């Protein structure tokens, strides 16, 4: 395996609203313009053999946006799923939604369930869309799940370790992201994958999401390839070599 290539990339797709406002367009136009960029990232991951991609599309906090924007975004997600799933499936992509899916409309929930079922056997790329997702929500839902098993007597509390806890999180058995990308200029994690980003390399760009292109994706990968990942060890312990 190529150690200079991330196995899992996680992206906060930020800047759609500003992209639209700068052109005198409604914010929704920026969200719509973000869809081909998602497609480009999927294609690049497939082409390069990156096995997992996780995209932050709608946070737990985004519900507080104006009702019209929330409603437009939900319609966009339903339409995007309907339109894109056949091609994703044809390319061997396994799609999953992570987040508090019960907060989504019944229509979106059923589209998500159908897309997940349809693509479940695929293995070329694991694509996670975070919808109504928050890192704190994720930690709490994992804690609740484990607490219920302890209360039912099926899980000894002492057997809860980092691996067991990690498995109860939304990303479950996936490897942690190696590379995190945030577009739009902010230098924050913003309640994305709090547990899973512990050792992730963080890359930020001022580029707004609709302008994020192949060259920008390559710049993020080049940044990652140049990192020396030590996981708390010294360079000498690692033989001074970059390691994934
Ligand atoms: C953040 O930009 C972006 C969102 C809240 C929506 C992201 C959604 C897409 C890119 C569509 C992708 C769809 C699928 C199915 C994955 P912002 O509105 O916060 O921008 P701003 O910071 O400029 O206001």
User: What spacing in Å lies between the alpha carbon of 86 and ligand 1's midpoint?
Assistant: 23
Residue 173: band (very low, low, confident or very high) from pLDDT cuts 50, 70, 90: confident
Mean pLDDT of the region 69-90: 97
Q: With a 6 A CB cut-off, is 97 part of the ligand 1 pocket? A: no
pLDDT higher than 50, residue 228: yes
CATH number for the region 8-135+175-243 comes to 3.40.1180.10
Q: Give CA–CA dist 100/135, Å, rounded.
A: 11
Q: Give CA–CA dist 23/10, Å, rounded.
A: 28
Q: With a 6 A CB cut-off, is 11 part of the ligand 1 pocket? A: no
> Ligand 1, from 9, 31, 77: best to mutate by most atoms within 8 Å of Cβ?
31
Q: With a 6 A CB cut-off, is 14 part of the ligand 1 pocket? A: yes
pTM of the model: 0.94
Residue 135: band (very low, low, confident or very high) from pLDDT cuts 50, 70, 90: very high
Residue 3: band (very low, low, confident or very high) from pLDDT cuts 50, 70, 90: confident
User: What spacing in Å lies between the alpha carbon of 13 and ligand 1's midpoint?
Assistant: 6
Q: With a 6 A CB cut-off, is 13 part of the ligand 1 pocket? A: yes
Q: With a 6 A CB cut-off, is 75 part of the ligand 1 pocket? A: no
Q: Give CA–CA dist 6/180, Å, rounded.
A: 10
Contacts of 172 (CB under 8 A, 6+ apart): none
DSSP string, 179-224: EEEE-SS----TTSSTTTTTT-EEEE--S-GGG--HHHHHHHHHHH
Average pLDDT of the residues of the chain: 95
> Ligand 1, from 9, 17, 55: best to mutate by most atoms within 8 Å of Cβ?
17
Q: With a 6 A CB cut-off, is 127 part of the ligand 1 pocket? A: no
**Residues with catalytic roles:** 14, 62
Query: What letter does residue 233 receive in the DSSP assignment?
Result: -
Residue ranges covered by each domain of the chain: 8-135+175-243
Query: What letter does residue 203 receive in the DSSP assignment?
Result: E
Q: Give me 49's structure tokens.
A: 């053999």
Atom of ligand 1 nearest to the CA of 209: 10
pLDDT value of position 230 = 78
Least confident of 67-71, 100-104, 154-158, 229-233: 229-233
């Amino acid at each position: 395996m190529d150690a200079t290539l991330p196995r899992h990339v996680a992206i906060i797709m930020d800047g759609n609203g500003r992209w639209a406002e700068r052109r005198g367009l409604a914010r929704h136009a920026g969200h719509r313009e973000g869809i081909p960029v998602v497609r480009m990232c999927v294609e690049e991951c497939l082409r390069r053999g990156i096995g997992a991609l996780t995209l932050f599309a709608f946070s737990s906090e985004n519900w507080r946006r104006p009702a019209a924007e929330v409603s437009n975004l939900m319609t966009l997600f339903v339409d995007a799923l309907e339109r894109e799933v056949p091609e994703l499936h044809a390319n061997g992509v396994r799609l999953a939604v992570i987040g508090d899916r019960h907060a989504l409309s019944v229509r979106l929930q059923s589209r998500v369930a159908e897309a997940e079922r349809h693509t479940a056997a695929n293995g070329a790329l694991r694509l996670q869309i975070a919808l109504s997702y928050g890192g704190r929500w994720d930690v709490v839902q994992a804690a609740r799940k484990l607490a219920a098993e302890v209360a039912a007597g099926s899980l000894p509390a002492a057997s809860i370790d980092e691996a067991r806890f990690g498995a109860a999180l939304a990303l479950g058995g996936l490897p942690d992201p190696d590379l995190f990308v945030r577009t739009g200029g902010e230098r924050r994690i913003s309640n994305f994958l709090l547990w899973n980003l512990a050792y992730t390399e963080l890359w930020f760009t001022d580029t707004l999401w609709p302008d994020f292109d192949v060259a920008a994706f390559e710049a993020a990968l080049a940044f990652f390839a140049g990192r020396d990942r030590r996981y708390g060890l010294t360079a000498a312990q690692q033989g001074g070599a970059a390691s994934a």
